[in-house]
Structures are given as C-alpha cells and as structure tokens.
Amino acid sequence: MERDLRVLAALAGAARMKGVVGSGEARRHQNRIEQLSVPVEPIATALRKSVEAARSSAAGG
C-alpha cells in the first residue's frame, strides 16, 4: 500500500495537479518527487509531457 501511495504522489507531482500538490510545495519537494518517480519514470515523463502539451494548447487558443 505504501508503495502505491508513493507512486500516486509521484504521478500527481508529474501532472502538477493543483489539488494534490501546490506549485510552491512541488518546487520545495522536487527532488523527492523525482525520487518517487523512479519506479514509473517512463509513465511520469509521458504524463508530464502530455499535461504540458495540453496546457500549452489551451493557452494558445
């Protein structure tokens, strides 16, 4: 169970989910979020890129 929570926290950090991890908190804990992401790194990277692309697209119109 604990590992599952760590992975979920890492994915929430990768997605920059405001309700889960605030931007200030994410910056303070960036190293820890990266450590938690190691077991699911390809997924976290793909999620991060997907979220960034969606936000960029939404901002561009």
> pLDDT of 10-45, one tens digit each?
787 777 776 666 778 777 878 887 887 888 888 888
- Look at 1 and 2; give whichever has higher pLDDT: 2
Q: What is the mean pLDDT of residues 4-14?
A: 79
Cα 9 to Cα 22, 24, 25, 47: the distances in Å are: 12, 15, 12, 13
| pLDDT class of 4 with cuts at 50, 70, 90 | confident
CA nearest to 25, candidates 8, 9, 47, 39: 9
Residue 54, pLDDT above cutoff 80: yes
Residue 61, pLDDT above cutoff 70: no
